[in-house]
Chains A and B, each alone.
Chain A
Amino acid sequence: MFRMILFTQWKWSRLTLLPLVVTAFALPLLSVQRAGNPQTTPWEARQLLNSVESWGVAYPVLATTIALFMAMTAWSADHRGRHVYALSLPIPRWHYALQRFGAGAILLGAAVIALWLGALFAAGTASIPAGLHAYPTVIAVRFALALFLAYAVFFAITAGTTRTAGYVLAIIGGIIVVQVLLETAGVHVALVPFIGDRLILWPGPLEIFSGRWMLIDV
């Protein structure tokens, strides 16, 4: 049963997943393209770190993109059929949802492995200045955590009805509108930054996305 659900997920997502997996492989290689002479000066090493850091933002963005795409494809066929087929299958609903989630999660593994291999290759081929080190496995693990966290969030949202998605958007929109109204009224309450910090900074649930994503660091 799970094999067939995995098959459908693969069929629906393969065409878009493939370029994203290639991107995951290429990203670490692109981030170390400025690595050159191992006898580099401290100033040049600093420039390399800046370059690697500037590419760092691409990791959470890529993780979010892949997760969003995978979550949407997990439910799109059922949404089109108004979930009648899935609901008429003789398995409990939670069981079906869990298998759909699992199928998507397994395919996400391809992106993680690609990024890990890309990072290993980049770390192995780049000339890293003395005093700096490559962390290919660490960045791959972090990418995996971000990817699965984003996937879980998007999967839960897309599993709901259009109305549910509307509620989520309305809450986000409502917060922004309140912020604008407060600013207009001269009340300086940083509502959006406050909520953003609570989500993204430790111990916020999305903390994994923030901070520095460094393949090469001290």
Chain B
Amino acid sequence: MSHAVDIRDLHYRAGKNFEIRELGLRVPTGSLYGFLGPNGSGKTTTVRLMLGLLRPLGGTITVLGASVPRDIPRILARTGYVPEQPHLYTTLTVDEALRFHAVFYPTWDGTWANELVGHFQLDRARRLSQLSKGEMGKLEMLLALAQRPELLVLDEPTDGLDPVVRRDVLAALLDYVSQQNATVFISSHLVHELERICDWVGVMDRGRLVAELPMQSFKNGIKRLRVANPPALPGDTPFVVLAREAGNGASETWTVRGWQAPMSQYFEGVGASLREVIDLDLEEGFVELLRTFREPRG
């Protein structure tokens, strides 16, 4: 499997309170990779390191087969970037912003840009400072898409947008991906949004990568189990016990990772009985994962 982004042993420090250590991250080519993490976990910093906007203290970053920061202009020419905060020159009009952006990208698709302007209902004569947050979000996405990138790096692209605009922006993104087989790296704390569109997920917390796996494995692997007469000590379980909570009477609720149906035999072996297996959605799984990471159970 080839990787559009390959980060190894990345080390970066910002001040005394924040550090990224030994970060390894691999984004498969052609995947829609959701990069999850709570606020302040280091997602934006990782994105900026990936695009050469910040200099790491150690480690290697390879994007689209080229090395960061050495080959950064070549990488950026093939990468569409939507940052967390609007970054465009707000004194320009929409039309001027399009013309300015276009000259830097040899792959710029002017025809498609014009189509997207119409689709997003953007007024070409309007100054960027007069655009609403939703319109600015659409413009940022338009600029990233119309340069026909091989890799799209989106840092909280729909944060603060209303549901209609969010749907428009994501629809344009998915259209593009289906046509071009581009790789998308989308950083967000909006778990449900990523759950719908991503096929890979990476979870970051406190500057460390907590998990990185296919979305399906992530969603299927974390379950909540209702267990009657549970053992005091679980012993060698074929799954990872993330949490145990006391229930009514002699029952408990276990949150586990790596669950598969045949593992129910374990409970018979320890004199317990499995009453129910509950699927967790991505958000619940995400929360449990972070809880385990922050309070390891040994």
Q: Do A and B bind each other?
A: yes
In the bound complex, residues from chain A placing their C-beta under 8 Å from that of B90 are 77, 80
Interface string of A86-101 (1 = CB under 8 A from B): 0111111000000000
Interface of chain A residues 52 through 96 with chain B (CB within 8 A): 77, 80-82, 84-85, 87-92
Closest chain-B Cβ to A85's Cβ sits at a distance in Å of: 4
From the candidates A8, A80, A88, A90, name the one contacting B92 in the complex (CB within 8 A).
Answer: A8
From the candidates A12, A77, A87, A91, name the one contacting B52 in the complex (CB within 8 A).
Answer: A87
Closest chain-A Cβ to B44's Cβ sits at a distance in Å of: 10
Chain A residue with minimal CB distance to B52? A87
In the bound complex, residues from chain B placing their C-beta under 8 Å from that of A187 are none
- Asked whether any CB of chain B lies closer than 8 Å to the CB of A11, the reply is yes
From the candidates A82, A84, A90, name the one contacting B77 in the complex (CB within 8 A).
Answer: A90
Contact A1 B103, CB 8 Å, known A8-B89, A81-B88: yes
In the bound complex, residues from chain B placing their C-beta under 8 Å from that of A84 are 53, 83, 85, 87
In the bound complex, do residue B76 and residue A88 qualify as a contact, i.e. CB atoms below 8 Å apart?
Answer: yes
In the bound complex, do residue A77 and residue B104 qualify as a contact, i.e. CB atoms below 8 Å apart?
Answer: no
Interface string of B83-101 (1 = CB under 8 A from A): 1011111111000100110
Main secondary structure of the interface of B (DSSP, over half): loop
- Asked whether any CB of chain A lies closer than 8 Å to the CB of B81, the reply is yes
Contact A90 B76, CB 8 Å, known A1-B104, A84-B53: yes
Closest chain-B Cβ to A104's Cβ sits at a distance in Å of: 15
From the candidates B85, B86, B92, B104, name the one contacting A89 in the complex (CB within 8 A).
Answer: B104
In the bound complex, residues from chain A placing their C-beta under 8 Å from that of B105 are 90
From the candidates B73, B85, B86, B99, name the one contacting A4 in the complex (CB within 8 A).
Answer: B99
Closest chain-B Cβ to A165's Cβ sits at a distance in Å of: 20
Closest chain-A Cβ to B125's Cβ sits at a distance in Å of: 14
Closest chain-A Cβ to B70's Cβ sits at a distance in Å of: 11
Query: Using a Cβ–Cβ cut-off of 8 Å, how many residues does chain B contribute to the interface with A?
Result: 24
In the bound complex, residues from chain A placing their C-beta under 8 Å from that of B91 are 11-12, 77
Interface of chain A residues 1 through 22 with chain B (CB within 8 A): 1, 3-4, 7-8, 11-12
Closest chain-A Cβ to B34's Cβ sits at a distance in Å of: 21
Closest chain-A Cβ to B55's Cβ sits at a distance in Å of: 11
In the bound complex, residues from chain A placing their C-beta under 8 Å from that of B77 are 90
- Asked whether any CB of chain A lies closer than 8 Å to the CB of B74, the reply is yes
- Asked whether any CB of chain A lies closer than 8 Å to the CB of B51, the reply is yes
Give Cα A77 to B100, complex, Å.
14
Chain A residue with minimal CB distance to B51? A88
Interface string of A164-186 (1 = CB under 8 A from B): 00000000000000000000000
Closest chain-B Cβ to A112's Cβ sits at a distance in Å of: 26
In the bound complex, do residue B76 and residue A85 qualify as a contact, i.e. CB atoms below 8 Å apart?
Answer: no
In the bound complex, do residue A82 and residue B92 qualify as a contact, i.e. CB atoms below 8 Å apart?
Answer: no
Give Cα A78 to B76, complex, Å.
18
Give Cα A12 to B104, complex, Å.
20
Chain A residue with minimal CB distance to B147? A90
In the bound complex, residues from chain A placing their C-beta under 8 Å from that of B52 are 87
In the bound complex, residues from chain B placing their C-beta under 8 Å from that of A91 are 73, 104
- Which of B88, B89, B99 has the most CB atoms of chain A within a 10 A radius of its CB? B89
In the bound complex, do residue A87 and residue B89 qualify as a contact, i.e. CB atoms below 8 Å apart?
Answer: no
Closest chain-A Cβ to B89's Cβ sits at a distance in Å of: 5
In the bound complex, do residue B73 and residue A90 qualify as a contact, i.e. CB atoms below 8 Å apart?
Answer: yes
Give Cα A92 to B87, complex, Å.
18
In the bound complex, do residue A88 and residue B53 qualify as a contact, i.e. CB atoms below 8 Å apart?
Answer: yes
Contact A88 B99, CB 8 Å, known A1-B104, A82-B87: no
Interface of chain B residues 25 through 59 with chain A (CB within 8 A): 51-53
- 9 A/B residue pairs, CB under 8 Å, sorted by A: A7-B96, A8-B96, A8-B100, A85-B89, A88-B53, A88-B81, A88-B83, A90-B75, A90-B104
Known: A4-B99, A88-B76. 10 other contacts (CB 8 A): A1-B104, A4-B100, A8-B96, A77-B89, A77-B91, A81-B89, A82-B87, A89-B76, A90-B73, A90-B104
Instruction: Give 6 closest A-B pairs by Cβ, nearest first.
Output: A90-B77, A90-B76, A84-B87, A81-B87, A85-B87, A77-B89
